[in-house]
Amino acid sequence: MHARFAGPSLDVPLAEIQLKRRHVMFIKKNQPRWPRQSILALTLGTLALAASAQDYPTKPITLVVPFPPGGSTDVQARLVARGLQAQLKTPVIVDNKAGASGAIGTRFVAKAEADGYTLLFGSTSSLAAEPVLNDQAGFDPAKDFAMVSLATDLPWLLVVECRNGPKTVAQLVEAARAKPDALNYSSVGYGSASNLVGEMFKQSSGIKALHVPYKGEAPAITGLIGGEVQFTFVSPVAMPHITGKRICPLAVTGSSRLPLLPDVPTFDEAGVKNMNFNVWYGIVAPAKTPKAVLEKLERAAMNVVKTPEFTKSVSTLGVTGVGSTGADFLKRLQSDQATVRALSKVARLKE
């Protein structure tokens, strides 16, 4: 027996129709269903997350510094933390997790909960250089972090020992060219920003000098004063050593002279080109931090830099406040990573 339907060639057996109906009913009956409790829990969880981001912060924030206390990174981080604390009305605790050229503290934050309560005070060394030069760094800034704000920017000073060192860049270059590899320079470690700028100087001036890595800026300066090395690069945070006449600056990176040292020429003025590599420091958060939290942190960080208190504090260190957006911070990071990659092809930046 057949069931007839209007239309061309639609002659379908009744048994086949019944079979198809049973098949459809079986599929509907066995489709997975979300229990009402699960849907409600998911909805409430989403609402709670949104509310949590809007109410942020509700507890102390930890700002991880991947270098030891007392150094340039630590000094600036504590100024930023103090400002964030005032802006966000919650305690901001600085936690030094040093080691492995900044990789230990940086990895810690990369794996931290992405809720805005664990942040990193990153730098050129830890974010631009370390992951480019070290295949075992254990983090990728582009994937593991969200940039919050670039906080500060500061130049490098080429310094020598005051009593026996050369008086100008030209004299240093002349001495290095007279005896290739006879001079040594110190840095705070392979792949560090001071190592990068030291190799830039060698390439730009056409000299040969041996690199001696130390574990921190203070030991690197001590090595210079003690005669273990003949020159090094320091940030303006080392100003007490300069005013104390223990080390003498010969030139400064960047396009303008340092207000604290108006008599010290730029490298360009001293006859060495392509020495515009400054070092920066900024705030980053774990990659999946909620957008609302990132926006609140970005606004707070930008406001910190605008305060007279912060401006006065960093200016005495020779540091410039930046206060960028997260997007501009990311562009600066990517640009400096490209610089590091290019430099690594012509210089020894690894152990």
Kindly state the average pLDDT of the residues 231-240: 91
Query: Which CATH number goes with the domain that contains 77?
Result: 3.40.190.150
For residue 36, what pLDDT is reported?
A: 59
Contact 102, 126 (CB under 8 A): yes
Residue 270 lies in a domain: no
Q: What is the pTM of this model?
A: 0.79
Whole-angstrom Cα distance, residue 48 to residue 134?
Answer: 40
Instruction: Choose from 3-12, 69-78, 245-254 the range with maximum mean pLDDT.
Output: 245-254
222 and 248: one domain? yes
Give the pLDDT confidence score for residue 3 in this predicted structure.
Answer: 46
Judge whether residue 35 has pLDDT over 80.
no
- Asked whether 153 and 332 are in contact (CB, 8 A), the reply is no
- Is residue 127 included in any domain, yes or no? yes
Residue 76: which pLDDT band, with cuts at 50, 70 and 90? Answer: very high
Among 137-151, 293-307, 334-348, the least confident range:
334-348
- Would you give the DSSP letter of residue 262? T
List of residues 6+ apart from 18 with CB closer than 8 A? none
Instruction: Note the pLDDT tens digit of each residue in 104-129.
Output: 999 999 999 999 999 999 999 899 99
pLDDT value at position 4? 43
Domain that includes residue 286, residue range: 58-154+279-344
Contact 62, 95 (CB under 8 A): yes
CB of 231 closer than 8 Å to CB of 159: yes
Q: Which of 138, 128, 98 is nearest to 191 (CA)?
A: 128
Please state, as a whole number, how many other Cβ atoms lie within 10 Å of the Cβ of residue 20.
Answer: 11
Distance CA 158, CA 187 (A): 11
pLDDT of the residue at 111: 97
Residue 282 CA to residue 144 CA, distance in Å, equals 15
Instruction: State the pairing for strand pair 320-321/157-161.
Output: unpaired
Name the pLDDT band for 265 (thresholds 50, 70, 90).
very high
- CATH number, domain at 234? 3.40.190.10
Q: Which two tokens stand for residue 209?
A: 């000098």
Distance between CA atoms of residues 324 and 348, nearest Å = 32
Tracing tokens 């206060």 back to the chain, one arrives at 323
Whether residues 188 and 137 share a domain: the answer is: no
For residue 29, is pLDDT > 60? no
In a domain, 36, yes or no: no
Specify whether 286 is located in the same domain as 215: no
- Whether 283 shows a pLDDT value over 50: the answer reads yes
Does residue 247 share a domain with residue 294?
Answer: no
Residue 63 in any domain: the answer is: yes
Number of domains in the chain: 2
* Average pLDDT score over residue span 185-212: 92
List pLDDT tens digits, range 298-322: 999 999 999 999 999 998 888 999 9
**Taking the CB of residue 77, how many other CB atoms lie within 10 A of it?**
30
Confirm if 251 and 266 have CB atoms less than 8 A apart.
Answer: yes
Two structure tokens written together for 51 = 């509310």
Rounded Cα distance between 46 and 48, Å, is 5
Residue 5 belongs to some domain of the structure: no
Does a structural domain hold residue 142?
yes
Tell how strand 145-154 and strand 320-321 pair up. Answer: antiparallel
pLDDT confidence band for 10 (50 / 70 / 90): very low
Claim to verify: residue 128 and residue 174 sit in the same structural domain: no
Q: What dihedral angle (degrees, nearest 10) is formed by the CA atoms of 73, 76, 80, 85?
A: 90
Asked, for residue 193, whether it belongs to a domain, the answer is yes
Strand partners, 285: 146
SS (H, E, C) 133-190: HCCCCCCCHHHHEEEEEEEEEECCEEEEECCCCCCCHHHHHHHHHHCCCCCEEEECCC
